Structure formats: C-alpha cells, structure tokens
A and B are shown apart, each in its own frame.
Chain A
Amino acid sequence: MAVVDSPNYYLSHFTNLRHLAFANLFLIPRGRYKRGGEGESPFVWVNSAIAALRSPITHFTIEILIRQPAQLDAVDWKGIDVLFSTREVFRSLVRVSVVFLGRLEGGGWDPKSIAEPVAVRRLMPLTSMMGLLTVSTRGPKL
C-alpha cells in the first residue's frame, strides 16, 4: 500500500516508466527483523513501491548484495515469485535481471559460480519468467 508522503507514492508520477531497477538491495537475513511485521522481507517494500506504479514495466532489475554464500538461502525467493505473479504492471515484461553484487567479506568464494546457479534454479520454476530471466554478478574480481 502506498503511503501518501512516501517515495512509493511519488512513483505514481512516473507515468512513462518502462525500465525499473532496485539497486544496492541489501539482503536482510531472516530473523533480523521483528516477526509479523512488514520487515520480514525487503521485497515487502519493493512490492509496496511497485504497487504505486501506473505504467507497464518491460525491464525489471533487482540488484542484491550477497556477502557470503550462506546468505543465498536467506533471499526471499518466494517474495520474488509473488512479486512477478501478482502485479499487473509486469504483464508486459520482456526482461528480468537479477544481479548479485559480489562484494566479498574475507574473500574465498566466487559469487558468479555459486550465486548464479542458485538463482537460476530457484527462479526458473516460474513459468511466466521462462525466457525472460538473466542472472549475473557484478563486483570485484577474485
């Protein structure tokens, strides 16, 4: 639900929007936030922002910061599923991009080889996204 004095509400002013990207989306591990509230998942407020949109989106990108491989399990994959399956503005999608920002904490893992296959495996069951999804990583080279 869009709040009138919030940026979500002002997204409704973007009446000609075709490409939308959420960048620097920090992963919020489960349990960090109080249960039962909106803070369960960052995609709750991503969803809220999208609710304010008034134009069909053709290209949608989410950039997720992953610091450790274990954090992949905490990504709200179901939230992404719901996001794409319920929103009318996504009916015209031609490209969905999931970008992992591979900043490393201590190094020692390759986000490209670890994060990308996981994302593809978890998101590909969405038949509506077949052929639309690209998964990539961006960050410092190992």
Chain B
Amino acid sequence: MTSRCQRGIPPELVDRIIDFLHDQPKALTACSLVARSWTVTSRYHQFSMVALITPRCWGKFNRLIETSPTMLRFVRSVIVDVADTYSPWMSVCASFPSLQHITMNGAVIPPWREEAAAISSVAHNITSFTINFTIVRPPHVWPIVRMFPNLVTLGYGGARCVTTSVPLQLSLPCHSPPISTMSITTTALGGVLEVLYNPPYPLTTLSTLDILDVYLGRGYNFQALAQAYGGQISRLRLYVHGHDQQCTSLGGFQPTLSC
C-alpha cells in the first residue's frame, strides 16, 4: 500500500533523509519499521558493519540471519574476533555478497587454513583487510592477503609477529594486490617488514603503495621501509608514541622526564 507520505515525497529524497541517520542505530531501527520502502535504505546503513566479537554476538547474529537472511547483502564491513575458539569466520564472510572490508582481531594466523577456500567467492570484492591484536606468523600472511586480488588497504594494528620457517601452503590462486594504503600501527614493525620482504611467495614490490600510516615507537625499523618506498609515498602519517608510555622517541631526541 502506498502511503500518503510516499506519494508526496520522492523515494530519492526519503533515501537522502535516512542517509543522514547513518550513524544512529536506534533511529534506523525505527525507520525500518515505518514502511517496506524504508526498510531497504535503513538496513543498508544499519547492517553495513557487523561486529562479531563475542560468543553472544555470534549467537545473536546466527539467530538474525535465520529469521532474515536478506540482511546478508547489506553487510559491507565485518569485524571478527577469533581470540579464544576456532570460529568459522571465513565461511561467514563468504555469506556476505557485498563484503568489502574485513577486520580480524585476536587470532593466531592461520587457525582457519582449511576454510580459506570458502572465502574465494567474495575475494574479488575485498578492498580492505586489517589484522588487529593478532599473533602473526609472517610467512602465513601473504597467501591470505594475495587471495584478495583487489585489495587496496592493508592494516596491521597491534599485531605481534612471530617468526616461523614453515610457510602456509594454500592451493588458491594468488594475485599481486594493488595495495595503495598501508597502515602499520604496531610496535612490531620489524616483524611486519619481514612480511613485506620475505614472503614465501615473493611479492617483488608494492609498486602501487601511495599512503603510509606508520607507528613510530621503540624498536622499530623505519630505515628499510623509508628506503624501499620513500620515493613513491605521497601521504605519510606518523603515529607517534606518546609520553604516557614514557617514550617520545622520534629521531635522536630522547626527552628525560623530570621527577
């Protein structure tokens, strides 16, 4: 049934109005119940990002998709936390046909080797992949990254890198992703550099890298990164360690705290 409101206001304007509420979940929930025609636009924002970070979240999510499987197509960004138990997150990601951004928290890579093939159906859509609070085994990272042929943004946040000589073997097609933005906000920059320079499937260079967001703290190795990519970086964001951690080490300057 067409409401009087809909006859008066073009749907494009209704969409525009709902767009303004993109960061207000309660308002979007209310909007989605107003009329069928409002539901799609409301859900487009409401489910654009899904955070599966606790067992309770997983439970609620499973119940939600059982009752409303159509919401899967609205998910464009997913945050998964696989810290404690094995989570079939790759299979879950594969169920989101519009998925573009993946953020993975708290896992030991790779706990999900067997499932890697599952994500190949949506791998072409993925443009952003971020690893946070994760124990990273550098030789295992590149095969995962290279599953995403259109990857533009790669992030390491708070990841710990553990050296291992055993490469991850995946029988998947590997591509050289056109990464233009890299964010390394971790103290373990040395380990990340190992990922960059010594992958089991050597990536000659990140020739498309243009934007670098890098953490400057203790024990980093900025030299190799600067020498390798300094000439092509046009945007540099230096993430500085603050004095709260009693360290403000940029350059040779080491401030001394007075008591």
12 contacts between A and B (CB under 8 A): A3-B251, A5-B252, A20-B238, A23-B239, A23-B240, A24-B241, A25-B240, A26-B240, A33-B256, A42-B248, A44-B253, A49-B250
Bound state CA distance, A29 and B123, in angstroms? Answer: 48
Is A28 in contact with B226, judged by CB distance below 8 angstroms? no
Is B242 in contact with A48, judged by CB distance below 8 angstroms? no
A44 neighbours in B (Cβ, 8 Å): 253
Select the residue from A6, A13, A33, A44 with max chain B CB neighbours within 10 A. A13
Is B233 in contact with A33, judged by CB distance below 8 angstroms? no
Given A7-B251, A28-B243, residue A39 in contact with residue B236 (CB < 8 A): no
Is A39 in contact with B253, judged by CB distance below 8 angstroms? yes
Is B223 in contact with A32, judged by CB distance below 8 angstroms? no
Q: Which of A2, A20, A45 contacts B248 (CB 8 A)?
A: A45
Bound state CA distance, A32 and B248, in angstroms? Answer: 13
B238 neighbours in A (Cβ, 8 Å): 7, 20-23, 49
Bound state CA distance, A44 and B250, in angstroms? Answer: 10
- For B, the interface residue count at a CB cutoff of 8 angstroms equals 31
A-B pairs with CB below 8 Å: how many?
115
- Does A122 reach chain B (CB closer than 8 Å)? no
Chain A: residues with CB nearer than 8 A to chain B? 2-3, 5-11, 13-26, 28, 31-34, 37-39, 42, 44-46, 48-49, 59, 61, 65
A31 neighbours in B (Cβ, 8 Å): 258
Is B216 in contact with A7, judged by CB distance below 8 angstroms? yes
CB distance from B253 to the nearest CB of A (A): 4
Is B251 in contact with A8, judged by CB distance below 8 angstroms? yes
Bound state CA distance, A32 and B232, in angstroms? Answer: 38
CB distance from A112 to the nearest CB of B (A): 16
Given A24-B242, A33-B255, residue A17 in contact with residue B234 (CB < 8 A): yes
- Does B222 reach chain A (CB closer than 8 Å)? yes
Given A32-B257, A33-B255, residue A24 in contact with residue B240 (CB < 8 A): yes
Q: Which of A13, A24, A34 contacts B230 (CB 8 A)?
A: A13
The 7 A-B residue pairs with the shortest CB-CB distance, nearest first, are A13-B230, A26-B242, A3-B252, A39-B255, A8-B251, A10-B226, A6-B251
Given A33-B257, A34-B258, residue A14 in contact with residue B233 (CB < 8 A): yes
Contacts A7-B251, A19-B236, A20-B236 known; list 19 others, CB within 8 Å.
A7-B216, A7-B226, A13-B227, A14-B236, A16-B231, A16-B233, A17-B236, A19-B235, A20-B238, A21-B237, A23-B238, A25-B242, A26-B240, A26-B248, A33-B256, A34-B256, A34-B258, A39-B253, A39-B255
Bound state CA distance, A34 and B257, in angstroms? Answer: 7
